[in-house]
Structure 1
Amino acid sequence: MTSRHGHSAVPRPHARLRDLAFGVRLACAGGREGWTRTLLTAVGVGLGVLLMLCAASVPSLLDARTAREQARQPANASSEVNVSRSAHSFLRLDTSTVFRGDTVTGELIQPDGDRTPPPPGLRKAPAPGEMIVSPALRDLLHSDAGALLRDRIGYRDAGTVAQAGLVQPGELLYYAGSSSLSTDRGAIRSDAYGHAGAEQPLNPMLLVLIALVCVVLLVPVVIFIATAVRFGGERQDRRLATLRLLGMDARAVRRVASGESLLAAAGGLAVGAVLFSVVRMYAGGLQLWGVSAFPSDVVPAPALAAAIVLAVPAAAVFATQIALRSVTMEPLSVVRLAKPRTRRLGWRLVLPVLGAGLLLAMQHAVSPEDASVSPIPVAVGAACILIGLTGLLPWLVEVVVNRLHAGPVSWQLAIRRLQLESGFATRPLTGVTVAVAGAIALQMTLGGMQEDFRHLSGSAGSPVRHADMTLLLPFGSQQTAQRLTSGLEHTKGVTGVLGVTETYIGKPGPADGMPALTTLTVADCATLRKLATLPSCRNGDSFVARAPGHRPEDQQVTATAVPGEQVDLDPGHAGSEHGPLWRLPASIPQVTSHLDPMGEYHHGVLATPGALNPTRLPQASTTVSVTTDSRVADAVEYVRNTAAQASPSVMVSTLMKATRDKQYTSVKTGILVGGAATLAVIAASMLVSQIEQLRARRRMLSMLVAFGTRRRTLALSVLWQTAIPVVLGTALATAGGLALGALILRVVAKPVQQWSAFAPLAATGALAVLGITLCTMPPLFRLMRPDGLQSE
Structure 2
Amino acid sequence: MSLGRTGRCFADFALGARLAVAGGRGSVVRLVWITVGIGLGVAALLVAASASAVLNSHEERTHARAIDSSAIALQPVPGVSPLYSSYISTEFAGRRFGGAMLFADGPNPPRIPGVDVVPKPGEVVLSPALRDLLADQSGELLRPRFPQRVVGLIGDEGLSGPSELHFYVGVERAELPEGVVGAYVVGVPVGELYFNPLLVLPAVIATVVLFVPVVVFVAGTARLSASARDRRLAALRLIGADSGQVRRIAAGESLVGALAGLVVGAGFFSGGRELVDRVSPFGVSVFARDIRPSIPLALLVFAVVPVIAVWAALFALRSTLIEPLGVRRGVGGPPRRLWWRLLPVLAGVALLAGQHRGMASEARPALVVLGVVLILAGMPMVLPWLLERCAGRSRGGPLSWQLAMRRMEAHGGASWRIVGGFTALLAGGIALQALLLTVDPMRHNEYLDRADDRDRAWTATSDAESARVLAERLRATPGVARVVSYDVVYTRQPLREFGSLELIVAPCPALRELTPIANCTDGDVFAYPDRDGENVRVPVGTEFALDADSARAAQVSWRFPEHVRPVARPAAHLRWIGPGLLLTPAAIGGAVPELQHQVSVWLSGHDSLALEQIRNVIGLTRQFALPTLAMTASDSERTYAAIRGLVTVSSAVTLGLAAGGLLVVAFEHVRQRRRQFAVLAATGVPYSTLALSVLWQNAVPVLLGTGGALVCGLGLAVLVLNTTPMPQHYDWEGIATMGVAAVLAVLLATVLTLPQLRRAMRPEGLRTE
User: TM class by shorter-chain length?
Assistant: 0.7 to 0.9
Query: Per-residue CA shift, 1:446-474, capped at 9, x if unaligned?
Result: 66677x844525164x583376112135x
- CA distance in 2 between counterparts of 1:275 and 1:115 reads 47
- CA distance in 1 between counterparts of 2:644 and 2:96 reads 21
Q: 1:723–1:546: structure 2 CA closer, same or farther, 3 Å change rule?
A: closer
- CA distance in 2 between counterparts of 1:459 and 1:722 reads 46
Secondary structure of 2:612 counterpart: helix
Which of the numbers 719, 742, 752 marks the counterpart of 1:743?
A: 719
Q: 1:244–1:525: structure 2 CA closer, same or farther, 3 Å change rule?
A: same
**2:216–2:417 Cα contact (<8 Å) kept:** no
Which of the numbers 617, 622, 636 marks the counterpart of 2:611?
A: 636
Give unpaired runs (5+ residues) of structure 1: 2-8
Matched ranges for 1:399-478 at <5 A: 399-406=389-396, 411-442=401-432, 453-456=442-445, 458=447, 460=449, 464-465=452-453, 468-473=456-461, 477-478=463-464
- CA distance in 1 between counterparts of 2:733 and 2:57 reads 40
Which of the numbers 485, 489, 502 marks the counterpart of 2:471?
A: 485
Aligned to 1:224: 217
Aligned to 2:110: 117
Aligned to 2:314: 321
Which of the numbers 750, 756, 762 marks the counterpart of 1:779?
A: 756
Given the alignment of the two structures, is residue 96 of structure 1 paired with residue 89 of structure 2, yes or no?
Answer: yes
Aligned to 1:623: 598
Secondary structure of 2:333 counterpart: coil
Q: 1:674–1:63: structure 2 CA closer, same or farther, 3 Å change rule?
A: closer
Query: Per-residue CA shift, 1:747-779, capped at 9, x if unaligned?
Result: 445456567875554454444444444444443
Corresponding letter in the other structure for 1:422: G
**1:524–1:609 Cα contact (<8 Å) kept:** no
- CA distance in 2 between counterparts of 1:84 and 1:613 reads 44
The Cα of 1:479 is off from its aligned counterpart by 3.2
Given the alignment of the two structures, is residue 302 of structure 1 paired with residue 259 of structure 2, yes or no?
Answer: no
The Cα of 1:284 is off from its aligned counterpart by 1.9
Given the alignment of the two structures, is residue 558 of structure 1 paired with residue 539 of structure 2, yes or no?
Answer: yes
- CA distance in 2 between counterparts of 1:208 and 1:139 reads 37
Secondary structure of 2:624 counterpart: strand
Matched ranges for 1:724-763 at <5 A: 724-748=700-724, 750-751=727-728, 760-763=737-740
Given the alignment of the two structures, is residue 653 of structure 1 paired with residue 621 of structure 2, yes or no?
Answer: no
Q: 1:522–1:697: structure 2 CA closer, same or farther, 3 Å change rule?
A: closer
Secondary structure of 1:285 counterpart: coil
- CA distance in 2 between counterparts of 1:640 and 1:412 reads 63
Corresponding letter in the other structure for 1:622: H
Residues 124-133 or 407-416, more deviating: 407-416
Matched ranges for 1:148-159 at <5 A: 148-159=141-152
- CA distance in 2 between counterparts of 1:516 and 1:690 reads 71
Q: 1:773–1:656: structure 2 CA closer, same or farther, 3 Å change rule?
A: closer
- CA distance in 1 between counterparts of 2:188 and 2:643 reads 31
Secondary structure of 2:348 counterpart: helix
Aligned to 1:689: 665
Q: 1:589–1:426: structure 2 CA closer, same or farther, 3 Å change rule?
A: closer
Corresponding letter in the other structure for 1:472: A
Greater radius of gyration (CA): 1
Which of the numbers 566, 569, 574 marks the counterpart of 1:595?
A: 569
**2:530–2:579 Cα contact (<8 Å) kept:** no
Q: 1:731–1:333: structure 2 CA closer, same or farther, 3 Å change rule?
A: same
Which of the numbers 338, 344, 369 marks the counterpart of 2:337?
A: 344
- CA distance in 2 between counterparts of 1:488 and 1:716 reads 61
Q: 1:351–1:302: structure 2 CA closer, same or farther, 3 Å change rule?
A: same
Residues 105-114 or 291-300, more deviating: 105-114
Corresponding letter in the other structure for 1:598: A
Residues 195-204 or 89-98, more deviating: 195-204
- CA distance in 2 between counterparts of 1:463 and 1:728 reads 40
The Cα of 1:306 is off from its aligned counterpart by 1.4
Query: Per-residue CA shift, 1:494-550, capped at 9, x if unaligned?
Result: 2222333333335676x7xx5664334443454345568597644xx4747464999
- CA distance in 1 between counterparts of 2:528 and 2:642 reads 44
- CA distance in 2 between counterparts of 1:714 and 1:84 reads 80
**1:470–1:624 Cα contact (<8 Å) kept:** yes
The Cα of 1:233 is off from its aligned counterpart by 0.9
The Cα of 1:654 is off from its aligned counterpart by 0.6
**2:494–2:500 Cα contact (<8 Å) kept:** no
- CA distance in 2 between counterparts of 1:467 and 1:716 reads 51
Matched ranges for 1:3-152 at <5 A: 15-76=8-69, 87-152=80-145
Aligned to 1:395: 385
**1:593–1:603 Cα contact (<8 Å) kept:** no
- CA distance in 2 between counterparts of 1:19 and 1:614 reads 98
Aligned to 2:502: 519
The Cα of 1:45 is off from its aligned counterpart by 0.8
- CA distance in 2 between counterparts of 1:184 and 1:397 reads 65
- CA distance in 2 between counterparts of 1:458 and 1:550 reads 13
Aligned to 1:500: 486
- CA distance in 1 between counterparts of 2:235 and 2:325 reads 5
Secondary structure of 1:496 counterpart: strand
Q: 1:59–1:349: structure 2 CA closer, same or farther, 3 Å change rule?
A: same
Corresponding letter in the other structure for 1:144: Q
Corresponding letter in the other structure for 2:555: L
Given the alignment of the two structures, is residue 360 of structure 1 paired with residue 342 of structure 2, yes or no?
Answer: no
TM-score using structure 1 length: 0.84
- CA distance in 1 between counterparts of 2:297 and 2:720 reads 27
The Cα of 1:41 is off from its aligned counterpart by 0.6
Corresponding letter in the other structure for 1:594: A
Q: 1:31–1:55: structure 2 CA closer, same or farther, 3 Å change rule?
A: same
Secondary structure of 2:452 counterpart: coil
The Cα of 1:126 is off from its aligned counterpart by 2.1
- CA distance in 2 between counterparts of 1:582 and 1:347 reads 77
Query: Per-residue CA shift, 1:635-658, capped at 9, x if unaligned?
Result: 22233223228xx3x321111237
Secondary structure of 2:313 counterpart: helix
Q: 1:626–1:11: structure 2 CA closer, same or farther, 3 Å change rule?
A: farther
Q: 1:590–1:428: structure 2 CA closer, same or farther, 3 Å change rule?
A: closer
Matched ranges for 1:110-259 at <5 A: 110-181=103-174, 185-196=178-189, 199-203=192-196, 206-245=199-238, 247-259=240-252
Secondary structure of 1:464 counterpart: helix
**2:433–2:730 Cα contact (<8 Å) kept:** no
Corresponding letter in the other structure for 2:452: V
**2:221–2:661 Cα contact (<8 Å) kept:** yes
**2:475–2:482 Cα contact (<8 Å) kept:** yes
- CA distance in 1 between counterparts of 2:44 and 2:752 reads 26
Secondary structure of 1:554 counterpart: coil
**1:40–1:231 Cα contact (<8 Å) kept:** yes
Secondary structure of 1:427 counterpart: helix
Secondary structure of 1:158 counterpart: strand
The Cα of 1:42 is off from its aligned counterpart by 0.6
Q: 1:587–1:118: structure 2 CA closer, same or farther, 3 Å change rule?
A: closer
RMSD value, Cα: 4.1
**1:548–1:592 Cα contact (<8 Å) kept:** no
**2:442–2:630 Cα contact (<8 Å) kept:** no
**2:273–2:291 Cα contact (<8 Å) kept:** yes
Q: 1:523–1:784: structure 2 CA closer, same or farther, 3 Å change rule?
A: closer
Secondary structure of 1:136 counterpart: helix
Corresponding letter in the other structure for 2:457: M
Matched ranges for 1:255-270 at <5 A: 255-270=248-263
